[in-house]
Structure 1
Amino acid sequence: MTMLNPGPSTSQAVSGVPTTRRCEPYMRLHWTDSATDAVGYLVVHTLRGGLATGGTRMRAGCSLTEVEDLARGMANKTATFDLPIGGAKGGIDFDPKDPRAVEVLERFCEAMRPWLDAHWVTAEDLGVPQHLIDEVFEKLDLGQSYHAAIRRAADPAATLERVRNGLNAAVDGGFLLGDVIGGYGVAHACLATAVQWGQAPAQTTAAIQGVGTMGGAAAYYLHEAGMKITTVADAAGTLYCADGLDIPALLDLRDGYGEIDRSRLPEGIEQQPRNAIIAADVDILVPAAISYAITPDNSYDIRARVIVEAANAATTPEAEAMLAARGIPVLPDFVANAGAVAWAWWLLLGEVDDTPDTSFDRLRTTMHNKVAQLLTAWTDEGVSPREVGHRWAADPAPLTGPVVIP
């Protein structure tokens, strides 16, 4: 395992969007798996009160630059939502479908154990479901992936029980609260956008790229609210129905990797190439799959009125500048998809419990308030949502003492 020296500080100005923040992270770690040659990274962008939070992802091609971008985004999320913690991210360059993937994740976590034990609060991310990382933590006798925070609690056993009860609270649709809360926040970022336009959900159309944990939950709650989702995409391609897709039926056809079984599709669904989702003729496009999904090469294909980022770093700065020039705002990931991390810390701090309605009510109110401010600045002042979000993140609530976890 190697600690990488920070490179030179850079910043990149892009016309139409704010300067991309390129301040150096607090720390980078580089790990190589001796059994498979898989490469893994931990980037701690900011450390507050001795803690940083951010999920662990696994995908073939995951790079240090990607993990740095994601860690920076986590730091923005925690500051924007006034959470008493810094931002970090873990990433492993390995195929999560490989039969050796779980063993690779176990060895990565073992290597990162000093940070996971005392400083890094991690969770699920692309290619790593929450139940899997929790199983790895149990094998390491760390209890649960929020361990670094739980161990600081006045009563760690009671806090661990509260966290587990919250994560596993049953909600409508046969889901667990911990699995859907992030997507619920994304859905309400979309619904708040419609409110700003003065449109009812039934008058608003959406397309969602990715129907895994985040995208699937966002699709479910938008469908429940009456919004017409005409287009969804997974790794196998794009599915389209002009009259609106039956989202619950499609979600029931997903496998463990968030892909829909094409052999059991309902009638009336048109199958299109995977990249067709980008050009969907809808009001709202939700990239909820991979980072850097929207680039300069495909940004001119976009016909949506707004992009709501459910995936981390879904839009490159250059593409965002091009979209801004066309009058298309991007609601940044560190606001739109921050519901999961905000809720996790509300749960850790005892501000919500395992009653789903309490969590839903707080997140809905918070998200509508933030999105209204972002879009008002866009329409009234010509300031991009990302710039407004960066202003929030640049002035986090001060820590007046150690974080107290009941």
Structure 2
Amino acid sequence: MAQAYDPYTNVIHTMTKAMEIGHIDQSMFEILKNPQRETKVYLPIEMDDGSVRVFEGYRVQHSNIRGPFKGGIRYHQTCDLNEVKALATWMTLKCAVADIPYGGAKGGIQVDPGTLSERELRRLTRRYTFAIAPIIGADTDIPAPDVNTNPQTMAWVLDTYSQLKGHPCPGVVTGKPVELGGSRGRNSATGRGVVISAKLLLALEGKTLEGTTVAIQGMGNVGANAARIFYHRKAKVIAISDVSGGLYCEEGLDIDAISLYLNQGGKLLKDYGAPGVTHITNEEVLTCKCDVLVPAALENQITEANAGKLQCGCIVEAANGPTTEGADDVLEKRGITLIPDIFANSGGVIVSYFEWVQNIQELTWERDQVNEMLEKLMSKSFQELLNVTEECHCNFRMAAYIVALRKLVFAEKMKGIFP
């Protein structure tokens, strides 16, 4: 029987391998392997029909060695403590790769948000915020949106936390509405970072986004924004998918028309129709022939079972942990270049950092300024990864981990162990 996928074991194995390849001092590795705090909370909620349900929630704070904990909150029925531990660890690495002064954290609630009303989601969010309020704050741990959460969710977190503190606390969350202190460009930042990653990789081969064929698995916030930005930069988005299935068009999908359709509320891709568009499965989106494949759904999508079937030129990981360790080996042997999640989807946390800075300084930056700063910072980080691939003769995932771990180990050594 195949061993069940464990995202936390996956990330620790990759970290261990990177320490060896990068010749990094192992003395501080035990600290980096383990989260500083794991919190599990139980959340009793009165439902609209008067019944009471108890939901399980989590907040894992992995490392604050380089700055306050930072990481999103996800609502998903399969969310568990082990997944959140892995995500918190990835956040620590991601912030180090981006070279922003944050550590890593992650939160989640085990719930299918599609089964709850807006009032029930609001009560659940407020109860969760109340439960984790003692360990979050603008200078300690700053949550943000993740899977199935959004600016509205962050507005509820912000208001609940501010009510508890007795004064407005805009810096406690990022990814909130612009009207409540959010940053312009934050909502699309993760998807934009994915497009920037693809652009930087293609440029190494003298190629541009224009005319490049792209397949995107997942049409949540990240996948949908990436699709729109690719489309408007004249890339040819030939395949997309959501939870209901996928769409394919060899000549390129009209992403603006599809976005308008999905934004009507409750609409899914399985019900969309247009001339030249065929319906395919999520698996067929992953395996269709394309220049750039963007897995933008959940973890464990590209595995040893399907890695040999991929027909893409390269992969840009928009989701966290979409590729297993075994699949990495298959892809490398096949010569498929992969830009890892801890770089490719760092646009969200980078612009979250910009939002946090604006809140602290009580400033508001224009969208063009935010986007320009994002591309500049990611371009700088990409060059650092490129240098390490050449130095250590490794792939981009190993390079990203080596860059992150070198910074983290340096910080641990400089600060020393307390007491």
TM-score by length of 2: 0.80
1:170-181 → structure 2 map (5 Å cutoff): 177-181=185-189
Distance 1:91 1:388 in 2: 29
* Matching residue within 89, 113, 116 for 1:72: 89
Cα 1:328–1:372, aligned 2, differ >3 Å: closer, same or farther?
farther
Q: Identity rate of aligned residues, in percent?
A: 26
Q: Look up the match of 2:58.
A: 41
Structure 2: tracts of 5 or more residues without a match: 1-7, 22-28, 45-51, 415-419
Q: 2:254 aligns with which of 246, 260, 274?
A: 246
Q: Please, which of 285, 292, 298 is the counterpart of residue 284 of structure 1? A: 292
Aligned-pair CA distance for 1:346: 2.4
Report the more deviating stretch, 275-284 or 133-142.
Answer: 133-142
1:74 aligned partner, one-letter code: M
The equivalent of 1:147 in structure 2 is 171
Distance 2:266 2:404 in 1: 32
Q: Structure 1 residues 11 and 381 mapped into 2: Cα distance closer, same or farther (>3 Å)?
A: closer
**SS of aligned partner of 2:95:** helix
Q: What is the distance in 2 between the residues matched to 1:328 and 1:226?
A: 23
What is the match of residue 112 of structure 1? 132
* Deviation of the 1:84 alpha carbon: 1.6
Q: Deviations over 1:61-107 (max 9, x none)?
A: 11111111110111011111222221100011110112144332222
Structure 2 match to 1:359: 370
SS at match of 2:113: coil
**1:32 and 2:21 are equivalent in the alignment:** no
Matched letter for residue 101 of structure 2 = P
Question: Secondary structure at the residue paired with 1:179?
Answer: coil
* Residue in structure 1 matched with residue 157 of structure 2 by the alignment: 136
Distance 1:232 1:370 in 2: 28
Q: Does the Cα contact within 8 Å between 1:41 and 1:64 map onto a contact in 2?
A: yes
- Shift of residue 266 of structure 1? 2.5
Note if contact 1:14-1:318 (Cα within 8 Å) is conserved in structure 2: no
Give the direction of change, closer, same or farther, for the CA distance of 1:371–1:85 in structure 2 (3 Å limit): closer
1:383 positional shift:
0.8
Mapping for residues 183-262 of structure 1, pairs under 5 Å: 183-255=191-263, 260-262=268-270
Contact persistence 1:231–1:277 (CA under 8 A)? yes
Q: 2:381 aligns with which of 370, 394, 406?
A: 370
Rounded Cα–Cα distance in structure 1 between residues aligned with 2:14 and 2:130: 39
8 A contact 2:154–2:173 mirrored in 1: no
Structure 1 pair 208/261, CA: closer, same or farther in 2 (3 Å)?
Answer: closer
CA apart distance, 1:274: 2.3
Partner of 2:123: 103
The structure with the greater share of residues assigned to helix is 2
Q: Give distance in 2, aligned partners of 1:144 and 1:185.
A: 30
What residue in structure 2 maps to residue 384 of structure 1?
Answer: 395
Deviation at 1:262, TM superposition (A): 4.4
Q: Structure 1: state its 5+ residue gaps.
A: 1-6, 151-159, 170-176, 402-406
User: How far, CA to CA, are the matches of 2:392 and 2:285 in structure 1?
Assistant: 31
Partner in structure 2 of residue 12 of structure 1: 13
Q: 1:15 & 1:23 partners in 2: Cα distance?
A: 9
Label 1:277 to 1:77 Cα distance change in 2 as closer, same or farther (>3 A): same
Give distance in 1, aligned partners of 2:101 and 2:351: 13
Provide closer, same or farther for how the CA distance between residues 257 and 387 of structure 1 changes in structure 2, counting only shifts above 3 A: farther
Q: Does 1:51 align with 2:75?
A: no
Alpha-carbon separation, structure 1, partners of 2:173 and 2:270 = 42
Instruction: Please tell me whether the aligned partners of residues 210 and 233 of structure 1 are also in contact (alpha carbons under 8 angstroms).
Output: yes
Q: Deviations over 1:268-302 (max 9, x none)?
A: 21111222111021111111111222122222221
Alpha-carbon deviation of 1:16?
A: 9.4
Greater shift in the superposed pair: 201-210 or 17-26: 17-26
Distance 1:17-1:257 versus aligned 2 partners, 3 A rule: farther
Aligned partners of 2:388 and 2:406: how far apart in 1? 18
Q: Please name the residue that 1:172 is paired with.
A: none
Between the two proteins, the alignment pairs up a number of residues equal to 378
Q: Offset of 1:257 from its aligned partner?
A: 7.8
Instruction: Name the SS for the 2:246 alignment partner.
Output: strand
CA contact 1:206–1:282 (8 Å) conserved in 2: yes
- Cα 1:189–1:101 change in 2 (3 A) is same
State the alpha-carbon separation in 2 of the partners of residues 276 and 216 from structure 1.
18
Deviation at 1:178, TM superposition (A): 2.0
Tell me the amino acid that sits aligned with residue 55 of structure 2: A
Q: Which residue of 1 aligns with 2:148?
A: 127
Secondary structure of 1:265's match? Answer: coil
- Displacement of 1:149: 7.8
- 1:308 — aligned with what? 316
Q: Secondary structure at the match of 1:394?
A: helix
- With over 3 angstroms needed to count, the CA separation of the structure-2 counterparts of 1:161 and 1:131, relative to structure 1, is closer
RMSD: 3.4
